Amino acid sequence: MFSVMVGTMASLMSATVVNVAIPGMSHAFALNQERAQWVSSGFMVAMTVSMLTTPWLLSRFGYRRTYDGTMVLLLVGGIVGGVAPWFPLVLAARVAEGLAAGVVQPIPAIIMMRAFAPSEQGRASGMFGMGVVLAPALGPSIGGILVDLWGWRSIFFMVIPFCLAAIWLAHRYLPVSAPGGSDPGKHAASLDWRGLLLGSAGTLALLNGLLEIRGGDRWLAIGLLAFAVACFVAMTLWLRRAKARGQDALLDLAVFRHRAYAIGSLVAFIYGIALYGSTYLLPVFMQLGLELPASHVGTILLPSGFVLAVTIGIAGRLTRRLPTNVMVSGGLALLAASFALMPTVTLQTGLALLVAWAILGRIGLGFVLPSLNLGAMRPLDKGEIPQGASLINFLRMLGGAAGVSLCAIVLEWRLAAHGTGLAGPTSVERLAAFNESFLMLAGICAIAMISAWQLKGPPQGDLPPQ
């Protein structure tokens, strides 16, 4: 678990730390808000799509070779992004990092569900989460200091020591076998390229359609969104048909026959919109709304990161005592409250208020993270765990990719409605646009909270061993 935790820390750091450098990168390449946010959303799209391939890669190459390959790709992406002289090359490096990060994300859940008894999974998830959340907690703080000292390029090199450590640990501790203990490639099916292409096309069309809603062609936006829906419907029909005919399918949709898993996947999608949208919006708000330097952004978020790590450890143990719906809904309620309270932060209020609301949101996250995946995947058979882990992570990241774009779109919309922009000194109108964007995120969390209440099940400690 520690071996895969280091790699997960590297992938999460690469996902979130770049947001601190967006203003500097925008200035260096003369980018507008929509183009600059592709640095985040491009990563998210690549991460989302590559998650679909994790079950096949593990079956074909085994744990160690799959993990090693992703760490090498993440390492190369960090180096290329740090030295790239053109924005398209920076974007390509971010996409490569996203591809690597997406394959890595489901692996810890697969190992956790197979290696630990149900009564131990909550505690294992809490211990794993305590380490993982320190990366995005420390990342913006260290990244902000690096940006102030050496410029935005320096943040790309932060993943290098983590990747090198992860590769060494993988060779020492990760098994070479595929899930289930079989030899890699022995029972591996051929990759379902048709399902993968349909999922990739749907994800790209969805994101581009959201981007075109504001500042673009309305009819093109409608066409792209319709095409995205068509791709996802076609993908679903193809996967069902392939399964019925005994052909190789990218994903097994039979996991959705479990009601808890279906509800948990819906909550994960909505939760992804709010979570990843806020990781984009909050640093931009502090730098362009409150006019704080990049180094201050990381410092302000640092206490909430440590609180999150401690909360996850406590919440992991509470999964043995509290039902899943109470844990997840309660956490989402705190997260919604933190967003709803952000409008109370102004240029005249002390930064302590911003720190307090950030801590409140991270406490909420701490209750959601150990509970959601475990509660959703609890009814799955062991053979379904790789498919279930990849699908629920895919849906969460699909929501995340949409959430990053949605926050940028809503912010641009509200800025235009208030007759202002992000250039020049801040203003009351600019702060109002940010406040309305935070209220939108609070509403999304409230919807997820209502859905999560249906995720009923006994505490983890009451479950019989599998």
CA distance 34 to 38: 7
| Average pLDDT of the segment spanning 373-392 | 81
Same domain, 299 and 438: yes
Among 48, 119, 5, 64, residue whose Cα is nearest residue 390: 48
Same domain, 244 and 263: no
Same domain, 15 and 133: yes
pLDDT for the residue 438: 93
pLDDT, tens digit, 9 for 90 and up, residues 120-168 = 777 777 777 776 666 666 666 677 777 777 777 887 888 888 899 999 9
Same domain, 321 and 445: yes
Q: pLDDT band at 466, cuts 50/70/90?
A: very low
CA distance 68 to 180: 19
pLDDT for the residue 249: 75
Same domain, 204 and 125: no
Same domain, 316 and 346: yes
Same domain, 84 and 106: yes
Residue 463 has pLDDT above 50, yes or no: no
Average pLDDT in the chain: 81
Residue 333 has pLDDT above 60, yes or no: yes
pLDDT for the residue 141: 66
Tell me whether residue 182 is in a domain.
no
pLDDT, tens digit, 9 for 90 and up, residues 273-309 = 887 788 778 888 888 888 887 667 767 777 887 788 7
Same domain, 154 and 288: yes
Tell me whether residue 233 is in a domain.
yes
Same domain, 392 and 269: yes
Locate 145 and state its tokens.
């200091």
pLDDT for the residue 33: 61
CA distance 418 to 176: 57
pLDDT for the residue 227: 94
Tell me whether residue 110 is in a domain.
yes
For residue 152, give its domain range.
Answer: 2-177+250-458
Q: What is the pTM for the complete model shown?
A: 0.77
CA distance 397 to 394: 5
Lowest mean pLDDT among 178-182, 258-262, 304-308, 445-449: 178-182
Lowest mean pLDDT among 56-60, 197-201, 274-278: 274-278
Of 44 and 257, the structure prediction assigns the larger pLDDT to: 257
Domain final residue pick, 212, 231, 249: 249
CA distance 41 to 405: 7
Q: Read out DSSP for 101-136?
A: HHHHTHHHHHHHHHHS-HHHHHHHHHHHHHHHHHHH
| Average pLDDT of the segment spanning 313-337 | 85
pLDDT for the residue 288: 87
Handedness of CA 299, 412, 431, 356 (dihedral sign): negative
Of 307 and 234, the structure prediction assigns the larger pLDDT to: 234
| Average pLDDT of the segment spanning 105-118 | 80
Lowest mean pLDDT among 81-85, 92-96, 185-189, 333-337: 185-189
Same domain, 430 and 302: yes
pLDDT, tens digit, 9 for 90 and up, residues 341-362 = 999 988 888 788 888 998 998 8
What SS3 string covers 164-219? HHHHHHHHHHCCCCCCCCCCCCCCCCCCCHHHHHHHHHHHHHHHHHHHHHCCCCHH
Q: Which residue has the tokens 């502090």?
A: 286
Same domain, 24 and 139: yes
| AA letter at 152 | W
pLDDT, tens digit, 9 for 90 and up, residues 156-175 = 888 888 899 999 998 888 88
